A and B are shown apart, each in its own frame.
Chain A
């Protein structure tokens, strides 16, 4: 017997990144009342000025489809060029079938392999890591990675821990073969012993028996400490694994959880001042899996970052889970 194993191109890269945000602009004044807060308090605590939320007629699949179509157009590809659709979300209402398969069909990618990733705010970076491996292993020509969330379906207006941070949107990236290195090694992991730090308030059976939709909660101060002092070394490892130093980094795109986390991460990583930092949270809010591609597409669209720039990205969140890698921007 002579079993053949798949092999692929030596390198992969992100061919295109695109995103969409919820249509409605929600101000701090709009959310401050039920949490007995103020615009000033929210800005000072989180750096958020507005968050973008989608209407009731839009779901995770709709947001994903819109982002995916834009990414395909930017890459000059058709749906039929996509072999795998990876969709990271924690806010799709169906446990099965996966949103990814429906999105694949809507964009003409059928029969692409398609599945959802449940890795919360690290999901996009999990997806990029998997897509990189799939392309280089010859498992797929092009992989569509989507981070999509409609967080507003899981908020409690009276919750002071996380709800007021959250926004809706979808970011999409296409990963394909490359002539030169475009995606560094993914440093990823989990810490389920701390699962209670960010949770859903009820399981499905509990929600059915109480008649109340589950929402999200977090232990904000503990998450802050973890996100800064445990995640900075992970980001550092991603730089080192890519054979680079902080001086090689042009752009830093951490998960958009809270501006205070972003600022403290920059400090701990000792990134040079010239490094451009994704700060999309100020206008979009925390969109979980969508936040890294949305922050990246904004930097590219506004000309603050450019094609060929070397970007460090790190996602971290409920699980706890995390993933970081260095990528070359499309």
Chain B
């Protein structure tokens, strides 16, 4: 069963919150991972891997640099669902 964009955003917010300590409601689609949420490349890889496991999708390493905002990640995960 595919996750809705809303469910992906909520799940991603939990993962980001767990990794960074930020409240989940601060993880909104327009936020930049680096500039707004202060997430470095290693934390980003942790978030990506946990998202892959949670949503049963594959996010190639080369794709990660294109995921600038939370919304980008939600869209990619949504599109990657089989």
| Chain B residue contacts of A45, Cβ below 8 A | 40, 42
| Chain B residue contacts of A220, Cβ below 8 A | 41-42
Docked-complex contact B44 and A221, CB < 8 angstroms: yes
Docked-complex contact A222 and B49, CB < 8 angstroms: no
A199 → B minimal CB distance (Å)? 16
| Chain A residue contacts of B41, Cβ below 8 A | 220-221, 224
Q: How many A-B residue pairs have CB under 8 A?
A: 26
Docked-complex contact B61 and A224, CB < 8 angstroms: no
Docked-complex contact A221 and B42, CB < 8 angstroms: yes
Select from chain B the residue with minimum beta-carbon distance to A258. Answer: B42
| Chain A residue contacts of B46, Cβ below 8 A | 228, 264
* Cα(A224)–Cα(B44), bound, Å: 11
| Chain B residue contacts of A264, Cβ below 8 A | 46
| Chain A residue contacts of B42, Cβ below 8 A | 45, 220-221, 224, 258, 260
Could you list 13 further interchain pairs (A-B, Cβ under 8 angstroms) beyond the known A45-B42, A221-B45, A224-B42? A45-B40, A220-B41, A220-B42, A221-B42, A221-B44, A221-B61, A221-B64, A225-B45, A225-B48, A225-B49, A228-B46, A229-B49, A260-B42
B51 → A minimal CB distance (Å)? 12
Select from chain B the residue with minimum beta-carbon distance to A261. Answer: B42
| Chain B residue contacts of A240, Cβ below 8 A | none
Select from chain B the residue with minimum beta-carbon distance to A264. Answer: B46
| Chain B residue contacts of A258, Cβ below 8 A | 42
Q: Which of B40, B41, B42 has the most CB of A within 10 A?
A: B42
* Cα(A225)–Cα(B53), bound, Å: 13
B interface with A by C-beta (< 8 Å): 40-42, 44-46, 48-49, 61, 64
* Cα(A219)–Cα(B60), bound, Å: 14
A interface with B by C-beta (< 8 Å): 45, 219-222, 224-225, 228-229, 258, 260, 264
Select from chain A the residue with minimum beta-carbon distance to B49. Answer: A229
| Chain A residue contacts of B44, Cβ below 8 A | 221
| Chain B residue contacts of A219, Cβ below 8 A | 61
Docked-complex contact B40 and A224, CB < 8 angstroms: no
* Cα(A206)–Cα(B67), bound, Å: 36
25 contacts between A and B (CB under 8 A): A45-B40, A45-B42, A220-B41, A220-B42, A221-B41, A221-B42, A221-B44, A221-B45, A221-B61, A221-B64, A222-B45, A222-B61, A224-B41, A224-B42, A224-B45, A225-B45, A225-B48, A225-B49, A225-B61, A228-B46, A228-B49, A229-B49, A258-B42, A260-B42, A264-B46
B41 → A minimal CB distance (Å)? 4
| Chain A residue contacts of B48, Cβ below 8 A | 225
Select from chain A the residue with minimum beta-carbon distance to B62. Answer: A222
